[in-house]
Amino acid sequence: METTVSHATSEAEVRDTFGHIPLVPGDTFIKSTIANLSLSDQYLFQRFGQGPITRVPYRCIHHAFEAHAKVNPNAIAASHLGKVITYEELDHQANLLALELIKNGIQKGDNVGLFVQRSIPMLVGILAILKAGGAYVPQHIGLAKDEQLRYVVKSANINLILTLSEFKDLVPVIDDNKLIVIDDFLKLNINNSEKIVLPEIPVTENDICYIIFTSGTTGDPNGVQVSHGNTCNILLTSPGNLGMRPGLKVGQILSIAFDMSVWEILGSLANGATLVIRGKNIQETVSEVDVVISTPTILSSLDVTLCQNVRVAIVAGEPCPRILAEKWSSFCAFHNSCGPTETTIINTVKRFFPTDELLTIGKPTPNNTVYVLDENLKPCGIGEPGEMWAGGLCVTHGYINNQELTNERYVDDPFLGQGKKMFRTRDLGRWTLDGELEHLGRTDDQVKICGFRVELDSVSSIIEKMPESKRAATLKIDNRTLISFVSPEDIDQEKVKKQVEEVLPYYCVPAIVVAMPELPMTDRGKIDKMKLMKLIPHKQEEEEKTTSAKKDQKFTDDDDIPDLEAIQLPPQKKSFSRMWKGEKLMHYYRLFALLLIANIGIMIYGATEGNWWSQQEMRLDIISKITLVNFTIGILIRQQYVINFLFWVATSIPTSWPLSIRRRAGKIYHFGGIHIGGTVSGTLWFILFMGSLYYDFFNPQNETTKDITLLWVTTILTGILVFMIIMALPKLRAKFHNSFEKTHRFGGWTALLLFWVQTILIIQGNGSEHTLLENLFDSFSFWALTVITISIALPWLRLKKVEVDITRPSNHVILARFNYGETPFAGSSTAISRDPLMEWHSFANVPEPGREGFRLTISRAGDWTGELIDDMPKYLWVKGITTAGVGNVDKLFKKVIWVATGSGIGPCLPHLFSGETPARLIWATRNPRKTYGDELVEEILESQPEAIIWDTDAHGKPDMVKLAYKAYKDFNAEAVICISNKKLTWKVVYGMESRGIPAYGAIWDS
């Protein structure tokens, strides 16, 4: 789906373009926090990211229940296995138990354990705890292990536990904890019909309502503290209230330890509906209710033909298959939603219709915000993938007794400010043009297969689109193998593989498909991936027997994806050191400044002690020599033979020498600073020369012969030189690159010709008795211009048109193979052209082991490369010799890390393939195999099996600094080399250098 937006440039244009989008009052977000976005994206980021501003009718959730008990006392509050209880009875029993809790020391803010199973006494316990001012801490007794119950008691500081008589022996006795058996207590007090008056307890929206412990599949469970304000906001406003009202039945099918049970239980009771608590048969309960709240796994296990009474269904907790959504939306209002426990059950929701193009997770719920941010917590543009952060009233109060984790995942909300918090959901997503969120998986569900990033849920979702598929789960076996578990048992396993193969790249296709009657579920109704993981070896052996597989498989639960959040960068060096390593003071500019300052010093000397400018005499001869010296230096430093010589000298330093020497030698590629230093200084001197010539020309005291032709030639030459420098300014050069190339080439040639004309005019005007030729040979200018002319002409003397064999792996890239008698060294580049007078483009040579010649990898990066890829000529022009590039500095180090993005992989390839310097690759690009073709990707994987290849289409842009640092440490490398665009190259180079790590990358003209 296309999700890009045009970039409107004024507020009026934005409103004209996006006027159909409903607005929220005022500018919600602090403007400085979204300044990195275009104006149109700023507008949409605010409009999409903010849910409706809605009044919440109650501050405490049990107050809403009490209101219904007062208005409709005889209405059925709940039913369970034939037993029913009215709102009045439930309220009375809850008051009785609340008073007992108070007598046993429960005060406002205390946490009370609720270790029960689904039952009416469970409801009494929940309401009693809330009425007493406490927070209930639910655990599904009988399923939860003793170790887990003990951990919860200790972690939540629980001093009193409510349970049921049949489970009292399962409740762990810890210290002096009190235990109240709810059903036993109610039996003893069943005849107490006196109206209970509870003491006034000032519970507010900020007090904790319940504490849900996460599943703990990746470590100890964490108790999430959810306030009354959090709970009321989602349960008492639309769409979170799901239209629950008196007369409707709501199913209670989920475990009480799962936060979605709060939605069922308190959602129903706080809105006056009837809660139907299930027994062992989920199907029976769902068949008789109007509203069902579930996970996709549970819903997919039901027979929809028996659920036609359902009016509203909503799923959350895990990705929903589209087929499931289409089935249920055909007869009821079906909603897909998303949100972790920490954002109060859900914080986005979408009603799905079968005609919808996408099954999204919808928009932010009322009084809440959602931000799609990059790794630096900067807003992503509309349509760009990023990580979803949640803000607003849904953000809970952190993890109990775990301030460190709370501080890590609950951070200050920079968009809303005012001390508010936002929560990192770890869900990946992006905004559609309709202002809905497309869920792209989770950051903790990514694995690396064959060097590529794979989102496991993406594979499963493709399988679940098959009509015959109910549920699917995909897991990683090893670095090259995926396994998919699918239900039902009779599904065609080869058809499953083909389904994935038709949509996703080859490395996403599961090597093994295991069909099962049903996938195992956790007690919270989600697919139990831990159980599936334990089935892998057994199932694999079975698969190997039936298919006579020849290779042994390795099994691992390890996930080798770099966890960017876990990568801790060392602190940067002190401010002065950082400034010295900064962009404005990098070696390129230091060399430029060195030459400029040296020339300024010479100018000052000439204006003072040198007395080069006086009324009696202008030392034009000295000024001319200094001018030509600067131009000669500036031009020679870019001569191909000189470049190769400089790199040869610098990289000849043995790796046994101290790193402090080698890292400085690696900066050799910044010689471009000498080029601009020489040419700019030469131009300044020439302007002085012209001024001096004019002064001399119009000085009445000068009685020498005056040559008007010389004056005109000098003036024109000055104009050309100044114009060439102006066109070479970074911003103009980038904006008018083709014009810069033509100006540099034809302007340079014209300037050189005029220098020769000027030199001849000056020599002729000297009135020497020697011949012109003799005077030329005696002239410094003649020899300087000769050197410059040869330097410029040499590459053109090797101009030739050669045959090229071009293959096009994809519409984005071509591989151009040359074999005209040259096999260049790794790390060199060749200039090619279709029109030698008009343009030249250099690309990194990739020598192929065992073959003569070389190839160039050319990516679509502009009009010229685009035409080349589309047309694929049989012949191209080449000139000069192959020339060393920045990558050659890898020879100085024992091990290096190569960092590349997109087509930056090209210059890396010869170094990776040659293997002269041990290396590791980090490559971030869009859909690598589709973009660059199987052949190239396979070559990379063969030479770099441990490469980190990041698919930015699937997973967004990674933090390359963190990835580079981790690779640098893991590989014990000595340096990092980055080939990317200017912005990212500098980010990586500075990110490393400011932390003392040698880093290199061509930045602009270096």
DSSP code for 618: B
Beta bridge partners of 997: none
One-letter amino acid for residue 978 of the chain: C
CA distance 748 to 934: 43
Question: Phi/psi at 450 (nearest 5 deg)?
Answer: 55, 30
Distance CA 931, CA 696 (A): 64
Q: How many CB atoms lie within 10 A of CB 213?
A: 24
DSSP 227: E
**Which of 752, 769, 796 finishes a domain?**
796
Same domain, 193 and 324: yes
How many whole angstroms separate alpha carbon 312 and alpha carbon 257?
23
372 close to 386: Cβ distance less than 8 angstroms: yes
Long-range contact pairs involving 82-88 (C-beta distance under 8 Å, separation at least 24):
83/120, 85/120, 85/123, 87/272
CATH number of the domain that residue 165 is part of: 3.40.50.12780
pLDDT number for residue 342: 94
Yes or no: say if 998 and 974 are a contact pair by the CB < 8 Å rule: yes
**Distance (Å, whole) CA 631 – CA 783:** 13
Residue 338's beta-bridge partner residues? 348
pLDDT tens-place string over residues 153-198: 999 999 999 999 999 999 998 878 899 999 999 999 878 778 888 8
* Same domain, residue pair 205 and 322: yes
How many whole angstroms separate alpha carbon 844 and alpha carbon 818?
13
Q: Which residues lie closer than 8 Å to 945 by C-beta, 6 or more apart?
A: 451
Same domain, 117 and 158: yes
CB 2 within 8 A of CB 36: no
Query: Given this model, what pLDDT does residue 427 score?
Result: 87
CB 135 within 8 A of CB 110: yes
Segments in 271-402 forming alpha helices (H): 282-288, 296-300, 322-329
The one-letter amino acid code at 901 reads T
Find the CATH number of the domain harbouring 378: 2.30.38.10
Tracing tokens 């396994």 back to the chain, one arrives at: 483
Q: Is the four-CA dihedral 831, 832, 836, 838 of positive or negative sign?
A: negative
Instruction: Write out the residue range of the structural domain in which residue 305 sits.
Output: 61-352
Cα distance between residue 216 and residue 868, in whole Å: 55
Is 817 contained in some domain?
yes
Cα–Cα distances in angstroms (integers) from residue 934 to residues 418, 860, 880, 940, in the given order: 52, 17, 33, 10
DSSP letter assigned to residue 527? B
Who's near 363: CB < 8 A, 6+ residues apart? 48, 51, 348, 349, 350, 370, 435, 436, 437
User: What tens digit of pLDDT does each residue of 976-1000 get?
Assistant: 999 988 889 988 998 898 888 999 9
Question: Do both 406 and 475 map to the same domain?
Answer: no
Q: Count CB-CB contacts under 10 A for residue 121.
A: 24
Question: Please, what is the Cα angle at 917 between 971 and 1000, to 5 degrees?
Answer: 75
- Of 865, 884, 903, the residue that ends a domain is 884
Same domain, 505 and 621: no
Whether residues 742 and 811 fall in one domain: no
Question: Among the three residues 828, 856, 884, which one is the final residue of a domain in this structure?
Answer: 884
Q: What is the residue whose two structure tokens read 């580049």? A: 829
Asked whether residue 283 is assigned to any structural domain, the reply reads yes
Q: How far apart are CA 410 and CA 394, in angstroms?
A: 12
One domain for residues 747 and 819: no
CA 170 → CA 220, 325, 665, 693, distances in Å? 21, 40, 71, 104
Strands (E), 800-937: 800-810, 813-818, 828-833, 841-847, 854-859, 875-884, 896-901, 919-925
pLDDT of residue 573: 64
Beta bridge partners of 370: 390
Please say whether the beta carbons of 686 and 721 come within 8 A.
yes
HSE, side-chain direction, 13 A CA sphere, residue 296: 24
Determine the Cα–Cα distance for residues 448 and 842; give it in Å rounded to an integer: 33
Is residue 449, in this structure, part of any structural domain at all? no
Looking at the domain assignment, is residue 568 inside a domain?
no
Residue 219 CA to residue 238 CA, distance in Å, equals: 35
> Both 402 and 472 in a single domain?
no
Q: Which residues does 667 contact at the CB level (< 8 Å), separation at least 6?
A: 587, 1000
Both 37 and 84 in one domain: the answer is no
Give CA 949 to chain center in angstroms.
13
Are 118 and 245 found together in one domain?
yes
Q: Which residues pair with 372 in a beta bridge?
A: 388
Establish if 130 belongs to a structural domain. yes
Buried b (16+ CB within 10 A) or exposed e, 68-98: bbeebeebbbbbbeeeebbbebbbbbbbbbb
Give the DSSP H/E element, type plus range, for residue 225. strand 223-227
Which CATH number covers residue 471? Answer: 3.30.300.30
Query: Considering the domain boundaries, does residue 899 fall inside one?
Result: no
Element (H, E) at 536: helix 529-547
Number of separate domains in the chain = 5
Q: Which residue has the tokens 């093994």?
A: 512
Any domain includes 820: yes
Residue among 518, 527, 450, 446 at smallest CA distance from 487: 518
Contacts of 378 (CB under 8 A, 6+ apart): 36
Do the beta carbons of residue 920 and residue 912 sit within 8 Å? no
- Tokens found for residue 391: 């803000």
Pair of tokens at residue 837: 């007078």
**CATH value at residue 806:** 2.40.30.10
Supply φ then ψ for residue 815, to 5 degrees: -110, 115
CA angle 385, 388, 391 (to 5 degrees): 145
- Give the span between the Cα atoms of 80 and 256, in whole angstroms: 15
In this prediction, the residues of the chain whose per-residue pLDDT falls under 70 are 1-28, 215-220, 444-446, 448-453, 479-480, 505-507, 537-568, 573-586, 614-618, 699-706, 765, 767-768, 848-850, 955, 1003-1006
Tell me the sheet residues that pair with 442: 427
Give yes or no: residues 852 and 740 share one domain: no
The answer to whether residue 446 sits within a structural domain is: no
How far is the C-alpha of 177 from the C-alpha of 106, rounded, in Å?
12
Residues 870 and 852 in one domain: yes
